[in-house]
C-alpha cells in the first residue's frame, strides 16, 4: 500500500518539499508520495487528527503552524525545548520533532567551520528562529535575536544560555557591525514578495556571513544586498531545506536519504 507523506502550512503552494521528497522516494524505489496541504492555523488540530485517521505516515509543518502544532502531538525533548516542531511521525503515537536547527547548523558548519565563539545575529523569533537559535546556542555561539516584536525575541533569548535580544531599529546597525554571521529566519523576501528585505547593503560589512533560510527565490533580496556590500560568504536556503528534509526522511522511512538527489531536484525546480 502506497505511503502518503506531506507538508502542511499556510501558504504552502510555494513549497518544494514535494519535489525533494518525491525525488528521494523514486531514487530508493519506495512506494510513497509526498503532497502539499494548505491548512489555516485555526484548522490545525482537525488537520493533524484527520491525517492520523486517514493513515498519512508523516508530515512536515511550516509557517505559521510550527509552534501551535505542539498542542496536538506528543513531542520529543528537543522540539519541546525549542517550542516548535517541523516534523510529525504517525508510525505509532503521533510524535513531533524539530529538524530545522540541525539543517541550519550543518549548513553553517560547512560554510564557516567551528561555530563556537561566533557572534550570530538572527532575524525573527518564530518557529525557525527558535530552532536555529537553540542549536547555535548549544554549539557555543553568542546569539542575538532581532524581531519586530522585541518582547517575543526577549522571551526566546531568556530560554537560551548565552543570548540577548534587540529591536529591529537603531541598535541593528551596531549589532551587524559586531556580528560574524547574519541569519534571516523570517519569511521576508519569500516568493511572491521577492523585493522585500529587512537588511540593506549599507548595514553590512564584507566579512559578514549572510545566510537566508528562504529558498524561493534562491537569490533573495537580502542576498542581492549582501553581494552589493561585497560580502564574501553568502548562503542561500536550499541546503537547509535539504538537510532538514533529509532528517525528516530518515525519521519516517529509517532509510539513508539520497541527499544529493534531493538537492539536485530542488535546484532544478527553482531554476525552472
Is there a contact between 164 and 157 (Cβ–Cβ < 8 Å)? yes
Phi-psi region of 113 (alpha: psi -120 to 50; beta: other; left: phi over 0): left
Q: What distances in angstroms separate CA 58 from CA 50, 104, 112, 176, one per listed residue?
A: 12, 22, 33, 39
Active site residue 27: no
E strands, 139-208, are 142-147, 163-167, 181-184
CA distance 220 to 197: 8
Rg (alpha carbons) of the chain, rounded to whole number: 18
* Phi, psi for 94 (deg, rounded to 5): -55, 120
Cα 11 versus chain centre, distance: 15
CA distance 141 to 255: 32
What's the CA angle centered on 65, arms 72 and 60, to 5 degrees?
Answer: 80
Q: Cβ atoms within 10 A of the Cβ of 148, count? A: 15
Cα 190 versus chain centre, distance: 13
Q: Which residues pair with 211 in a beta bridge?
A: 183, 235
Handedness of CA 115, 117, 123, 127 (dihedral sign): positive
Q: C-alpha grid cell for residue 150?
A: 522585541
Which candidate in 2, 26, 66, 233 is catalytic?
66
Catalytically active residues are 66
Amino acid at each position: 500500500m502506497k505511503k502518503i507523506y506531506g507538508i502542511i502550512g499556510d501558504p504552502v503552494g510555494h513549497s518544494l518539499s514535494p519535489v525533494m521528497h518525491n525525488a528521494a522516494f523514486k531514487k530508493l524505489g519506495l512506494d510513497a508520495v509526498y503532497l502539499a496541504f494548505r491548512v489555516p492555523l485555526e484548522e490545525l488540530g482537525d488537520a493533524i487528527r484527520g491525517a492520523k485517521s486517514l493513515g498519512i505516515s508523516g508530515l512536515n509543518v511550516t509557517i505559521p503552524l510550527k509552534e501551535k502544532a505542539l498542542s496536538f502531538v506528543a513531542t520529543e525533548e528537543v522540539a519541546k525545548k525549542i517550542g516548535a516542531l517541523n516534523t510529525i511521525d504517525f508510525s505509532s503515537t503521533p510524535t513531533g520533532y524539530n529538524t530545522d536547527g540541525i539543517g541550519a547548523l550543518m549548513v553553517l558548519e560547512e560554510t564557516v567551520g567551528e561555530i563556537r565563539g561566533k557572534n550570530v545575529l538572527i532575524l525573527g523569533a518564530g518557529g525557525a528562529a527558535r530552532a536555529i537559535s537553540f542549536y547555535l546556542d548549544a554549539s557555543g555561539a553568542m546569539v542575538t535575536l532581532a524581531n519586530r516584536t522585541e518582547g517575543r525575541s526577549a522571551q526566546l533569548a531568556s530560554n537560551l544560555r548565552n543570548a540577548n535580544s534587540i529591536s529591529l531599529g537603531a541598535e541593528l546597525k551596531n549589532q551587524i557591525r559586531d556580528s560574524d554571521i547574519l541569519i534571516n529566519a523570517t519569511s521576508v523576501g519569500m516568493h511572491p514578495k521577492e523585493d522585500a528585505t529587512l537588511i540593506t547593503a549599507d548595514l553590512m560589512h564584507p566579512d559578514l556571513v549572510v545566510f537566508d533560510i528562504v529558498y524561493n527565490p534562491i537569490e533573495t533580496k537580502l542576498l542581492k544586498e549582501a553581494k552589493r556590500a561585497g560580502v564574501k560568504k553568502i548562503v542561500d536556503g536550499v541546503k537547509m531545506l535539504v538537510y532538514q528534509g533529509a532528517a525528516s526522511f530518515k525519521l519516517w522511512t529509517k532509510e539513508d536519504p539520497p541527499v544529493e538527489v534531493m538537492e539536485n531536484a530542488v535546484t532544478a525546480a527553482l531554476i525552472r
